[in-house]
Amino acid sequence: MSTEQEKQVSDTLARLDAAASAGDVEAIRVEALGKAGWISALMKTLGKMTPEERQSEGPRIQGIRARVADAIEAKKTALEAAELEARLATETLDLTLPAPSVPKGSVHPVSQVMDELSEIFADLGFSVATGPEIEDDWYNFTALNMPESHPARAMHDTFYFGDNHRAPNGGKMLLRTHTSPVQIRTMIAEGAPLRIIAPGRVYRSDSDATHTPMFHQVEGLVIDRDIHLGHLKWTLETFLKAFFETDDIVLRLRPSYFPFTEPSVEVDVGFAIENGKRVLGGSGDAPGHGWMELLGSGMVNRRVIAFAGLDPDEWQGFAFGVGVDRLAMLKYGMDDLRAFFDGDARWLSHYGFSGLDQPTLSGGVGAKA
């Protein structure tokens, strides 16, 4: 090797050794191996040599190229490793740090109430069932004894999908207007006997201080042999006593009409006025007391049981449906439903619950940290 080339190689290696950054290394690479670099120029000289010269010069020049290229790669790797080391040294995570003194985040009252309901009904032998929020009109209406022309359909302010979104059975697709279609789905999927609650989101085109286009309901369904209205009343009483954490719950069952129940009852709960506020308890008929409408329920209509593929001569049942947001408002004292869906962190920190505070029957389903 010519002494000049020898010097260029050792010079390059020395500068690489001293290089402090990826930028320095890149500059050295361009100088040596770039298009106009000195090693590239050396490679080009091979073309003008005789075959004999090339036989000895070829491997020599390739050797120079390889030594420099390897040194550049090695330096790059070393610099990257050093950089990672340095970053890891500054980004240490001190796992001994205490948790922040003010807990961040809280459980929304709707989630809290749904957890409370699940806990209460689990104790009564109910399991939790779910169904899709995008439903078709057979599950949402027809199978619940509301055929196409039924006036009750018009009362539901339904959000329909366009005609290009049809169910496999040709029916219209919609956002479910209540949790009642879960009754049908669960009877079809699981048969009888059955004890379920189905909490979830429902949708109606309606909006004011007590109505939002999306809200929450919980459906209850019991299917068994020899079920009667007494079972319904006892179940609702037991549920409401546990939920409101008071034995002073007086219910009034008022005859009503729902297409999917026969007979149908609207359930009111007695309240008194204390310091200008309604508090649950006592008979609504007592002086100064009143009745508050709480939920809809009834004995499952024979036609609904048949729609779901069960024999109504063998199986009977009761069902109920109640607004979860409304239950939360009554229990925890909010007065504007719209705030539930504003996502305002101040509202949530005021009305929210600790994620560590799971509702349990023994600890009180509504225990608040």
Residue ranges in contact with ligand DAH by CB under 6 A: 178, 180, 219, 258, 261, 296-298, 319-321
- If the CB atoms of residues 68 and 144 are measured against ligand DAH, the closer one turns out to be 144
Is the Cβ–Cβ distance between 239 and 120 less than 8 Å?
yes
- If the CB atoms of residues 8 and 179 are measured against ligand DAH, the closer one turns out to be 179
Residue 123 CB, nearest distance to ligand DAH (Å)? Answer: 21
Residue 321 CB, nearest distance to ligand DAH (Å)? Answer: 2
Residue 319 CB, nearest distance to ligand DAH (Å)? Answer: 3
Residue 245 CB, nearest distance to ligand DAH (Å)? Answer: 24
- If the CB atoms of residues 72 and 192 are measured against ligand DAH, the closer one turns out to be 192
Residue 144 CB, nearest distance to ligand DAH (Å)? Answer: 8
State which residue has the least CB distance to ligand DAH.
321
Residue 296 CB, nearest distance to ligand DAH (Å)? Answer: 3
- If the CB atoms of residues 135 and 219 are measured against ligand DAH, the closer one turns out to be 219
- If the CB atoms of residues 123 and 262 are measured against ligand DAH, the closer one turns out to be 262
Residue 153 CB, nearest distance to ligand DAH (Å)? Answer: 12
- If the CB atoms of residues 71 and 319 are measured against ligand DAH, the closer one turns out to be 319
- If the CB atoms of residues 29 and 178 are measured against ligand DAH, the closer one turns out to be 178
As a three-state string, the secondary structure of the chain is CCHHHHHHHHHHHHHHHHCCCHHHHHHHHHHHHCCCCHHHHHHHHHHHCCHHHHHHHHHHHHHHHHHHHHHHHHHHHHHHHHHHHHHHHHCCCCCCCCCCCCCCCCECHHHHHHHHHHHHHHHCCCEECCCCCEEEHHHHCHHHCCCCCCHHHHCCCCCECCCCCECCCCCEEEECCCCCHHHHHHHHHHCCCEEEEEEEEEECCCCECCECCEEEEEEEEEEECCCCHHHHHHHHHHHHHHHHCCCCCCEEEEEEEECCEEEEEEEEEEEEEECCEEEECCCCCCCCEEEEEEEEEEEECHHHHHHCCCCCCCCEEEEEEEEHHHHHHHHHCCCCHHHHHCCCHHHHHHHCECCCCCCECCCECCCCC
